[in-house]
Chains A and B, each alone.
Chain A
Amino acid sequence: MKGWVSKSRILFLLSSLMLVLTGCGRSNLTALQPKGEGADVIFDLMMLSVIIMVFVGVVVMAIYFFVLIRFRQKKDQEDFIPKQTEGNQFLEVLWTVIPILLLVILAVPTVQKTFMLADTTPSEENKEDAITIEVTGKQYWWHYNYNGQKIQTSQDLYIPTGERVYLKLNASDVIHSYWVPTISGKMDTNPGENTNEMFLHAYEEGVYYGKCAELCGPSHSLMDFKVIAVSPEEFDQWVSDMQNVDTDATPESDSAQRGKELFTEKSCIGCHAVGAGGGASTGPNLTNFGDRAKLVGYKENTKENLVTWLLDPEKFKPGNKMTGKYGNGDPVNPISEKEASQIADYLLQLQPSEITPEDAKSTDSDSEEEK
């Protein structure tokens, strides 16, 4: 159904239908300016349904207003008894058949596209090259396992543009839902055996905002993530950088060195892995923490915020699973401010790759990111 109406007409409809007031929202969050295959396909279907509905709406409203204006009781009509019509068979058939036809027009592409979006197995010829990523939703963050590349990471999902990247979705606690509106529709992540599949296919480079769309607890609205679409070359670079992380490297500054020691002493390492090869995944993998687009999904990734987070995670994510689990389990005062600062220095210098969210932005004319 692509090209069913020209893009310019779609844009025209869009601008007239969608409230002038609000525009279309943030360009890397909205579903109304699709920049990926899934979102694009859905947008066309959405517009088709809107056009049909507007057509029906105009007919209904025309009759509605005509009736209300024309047949309102006039002053001399108080005792007037109108003709008691029983009905009209022709009309009944008419307003049964026409809606059925209109629905068929909508139903055919609906079924087509439903099957198209469910086609989540790579075709024979690029089976070797296709990227498949296991996505696991956890209260309140996302874990990624690039099987073919042997990379594990969290929160920021790096994908190459111009091809389908296949996701296998699961959850480890409650149901979440993985949604990147600008490039694709959403899919639930179920705990247990009900693994779901979808694909992401970004047309353009960019940092796309992702949201959890299934109520999952107090921090449901804070379970944001980013999909970072970079060019295939940049993606290959990122993969090789991540595969060759030197986890034993000594940080440059003294503070960061001390932070690295504290990371073990305060039992952070029990939940968080540093090194893309794997390790503990009770908490997010921190291998490229210094490159994160956002801290905890939605805060500026600054040292100040990170220290605040380390001292009291509840401030940023109520009901998170980290509170009280570190600093040897001391619930009151797990770590001192100084220690938090040193750990922060250590974490923020974890920048193993040349490829960062900045690279995805370089071709993105949108300047909202810089705000």
Chain B
Amino acid sequence: MSTATAQKQGFGATLWDYLTTVDHKKIAILYLVSGGIFFLAGGLEALLIRIQLMVPDNNFVSSGMYNQLITMHGTTMIFLAAMPFIFALMNIAVPLQIGARDVAFPFLNSLGFWLFFFGGVLLNLSWFTGAPDAGWTAYAPLSTTSPGHGMDFYVLGLQISGAGTLIGGINFLVTIINMRAPGMTYMRMPLFTWTALVTSVLILFAFPALTVGLFLMMFDRLFGAGFFDPTMGGNHVIWEHLFWIFGHPEVYILVLPIFGLFSDIISTFSKKRLFGYSAMVFATVLIGFLGFMVWAHHMFTTGLGPIANSIFAIATMAIAVPTGIKIFNWLFTMWGGVIRMTAAMLWTVAFIPSFTLGGFTGVMLAAAAADFQYHDTYFVVAHFHYVIVGGVVFGVFAGLHYWWPKMFGKILDEKLGKLAFWPFFIGFHLTFFIQHFLGLMGMPRRYWVFHSGDGLDLGNLISTIGAFFMTLGTLIFLYNVIITSIKGEKASADPWDARTLEWSIPSPPPFYNFKQTPLVRGLDPLWVEKRQGNGKMTPAEPLGDIHMPNNSFIPFMISLGSFVMGYGLIYQVDDSRWLFVAIAGLLITLGSMFVRSVKDDLGYHIHKEDLEEKGAGSE
């Protein structure tokens, strides 16, 4: 059921296959493609923002449109691009790295994706009637009083896609705890799996805060409640808290798996075991824990008082310690190794100084008193782009180069990969480095215009030029994807001489992943077998029937119902007849759930004989 066989099917059959699939490898591709499309939309929005800020007093877009662009850029990039990229990487790698045949709940995996997808589509449909315009942080009362339906799309779109993310997080949590192959103890798990585990825990605890906040905002906007309305006895600061109790861990949700991925890549391409493995695990867990203790550093100027500000300042600074441990362990993994500078490694190596700089400004921002100057200026904009682009986006590029063979059976062109890297890397620093200074020179963030004579012209122009370089890099990468899919070189099972389990099976793997569950004999199990055995994993079980889940269209229908319901809820404010649409959507969702509950779906077995026929091909 690899892409090779999929190509032989007609387009309709392939489409149906993807609409109903519960295979983690195909769901990874779904996440990747939809995340990629949203990434391009968010990137286009960013480019329009930078064109508007190219020269002072510009009128390229109107101020109303500008606020929509910044809001949608932020929301799209975080929720609809970075999140699915992370889930794409987790889906392709985690089950394979722990020697599992799929995730614990394949049906939920599909449901998580489709909820995310329909939430994202709902949010982006707002462009036709006016997009949300209160910033991605949606601070009340600006968000609750924003005219039009833009913010309603924000609330409902994120609520639906957030449910998908939560489901996905729980799924990976259970998968990693329960589905590890024999011998794969916690302290033998690859760092990527470890970070995926911690990220799943963070999702489990962080997303409900967002859900609650969005529910309150939904009641404020759609049904006239006043949770965040000071004139009705509400308090808008509650939204700030709820949003950041979710919002800060979200940063770690995005970046931790990338840390794990870099650990795997650095280890593979230095041909060395990860330096200080247990320290790395410890640092990951500590970052995840501390990530929940620091949300109010986004609110130093809200007026929480010096005691709260000091506590959160020190807690925030503390995160620099485990992060520093990671940076040094990566450097010392490379120390004494044999570094192969592939495209994946190039992105990884570029990540270290870029992210470190983001970490430095993070510590600077943590100094609560000084934050009175930095807060809500371009200094902050520079900081979080250094962390999210320099961390997450670089990481996604690295991860795609690394796992592309496992996903599609072909190796992304290395030359083009490096060619895409340089303009993106240079453009990134050109765009964002200067923004630190723009902020300190008095440019607040989310500014539609700056005035000539305010001394901000040159910096903004440089920043805009950088954005075009980044665009160029992205386009070259896209070209690489296309050219590789047409005439890419076919990948072997282990093209990178790697160390972990996913490289012990063919690229792309058969749909059941492992013909026989492997026995894990140490950290970096494949490397262990290569050095001490015959280079193949020892099976932990005799060849037998494999139980597989059936494909299902129900996740799609449940999500479609939520989408319809969301749409109806948004417009029932104007005309109560829209309530019927909302109810119809609700019925589709509940009906689909009902079918799922009463219909036995026991899956099917691949018989031992069929597996034997395929011979040793899967090894």
Taking Cβ atoms with an 8 Å cutoff, the residues of A that contact B are 18-19, 21-26, 29-32, 38-39, 41-42, 45-46, 49-50, 52-53, 56-57, 60-61, 63-64, 67-68, 71-73, 77, 80-88, 91-92, 95-96, 99-100, 103, 106-107, 110-111, 113-118, 173-175, 177, 179, 181-182, 184-188, 190-196, 209, 211-222, 224, 298, 318-319, 368, 371
Contacts and interface: CB of A to CB of B under 8 A. Distances in A.
Contact of B235 (A100, A106, A194): A194
B426 interface: no
B317 interface: yes
Given A83-B336, A113-B369, A63 B325 contact: no
B71 to A, nearest CB: 9
B371 to A, nearest CB: 8
A214 B376 contact: yes
Nearest to B523: A86
Interface centre among A60, A182, A209, A213 (most CB of B within 10 A): A213
A21 B368 contact: no
Given A118-B305, A186-B373, A221-B448, A60 B356 contact: yes
B60 interface: no
Contacts of A195: 303
Interface centre among A18, A31, A86 (most CB of B within 10 A): A31
A106 B67 CA distance: 36
Interface in B235-284: 235-237, 270-273, 275-279
B331 A67 contact: yes
Interface stretch (B137-145, B467-475, B503-511, B598-606): B137-145
A45 B367 contact: yes
Q: 10 smallest A-B Cβ distances: which pairs? A: A185-B372, A192-B230, A25-B441, A87-B276, A113-B369, A29-B442, A118-B306, A221-B447, A196-B303, A25-B455
Given A57-B360, A64-B352, A87-B278, A187 B301 contact: yes
B332 interface: yes
A371 B445 CA distance: 26
A211 B375 CA distance: 12
Q: Is the interface of B mostly helix, strand, loop or mixed?
A: helix
Given A26-B442, A188-B302, 18 more contacts: A25-B456, A29-B441, A31-B373, A67-B339, A71-B338, A72-B339, A73-B341, A91-B332, A111-B313, A114-B310, A115-B306, A181-B373, A186-B375, A187-B372, A191-B236, A194-B237, A195-B303, A222-B449
B331 A213 contact: no
A80 B336 CA distance: 12
B314 A111 contact: yes
B324 interface: yes
Nearest to A69: B339
Contact of A218 (B64, B237, B334, B377): B64
A234 B204 CA distance: 61
A106 B367 contact: yes
Contacts, number: 302
Nearest to A21: B458
17 contacts: A23-B455, A25-B456, A52-B363, A53-B364, A73-B338, A84-B273, A86-B275, A103-B320, A110-B366, A118-B305, A177-B375, A186-B372, A190-B302, A193-B230, A194-B235, A222-B449, A319-B63
Interface centre among B340, B352, B366, B368 (most CB of A within 10 A): B368
Given A179-B444, A186-B301, A192-B235, A68 B437 contact: no
Interface centre among B235, B318, B321, B453 (most CB of A within 10 A): B321
B131 to A, nearest CB: 13
B455 A57 contact: no
Contacts of B441: 22, 24-26, 29-32
Nearest to A371: B453
A174 B331 CA distance: 47
Contact of B369 (A41, A99, A182, A187): A41
Nearest to A83: B336
A107 B237 CA distance: 26
A209 B442 contact: yes
Interface in B337-377: 337-341, 349, 352-353, 356-357, 360, 363-364, 366-373, 375-377
B277 to A, nearest CB: 7
Contact of B273 (A86, A95, A100, A174): A86
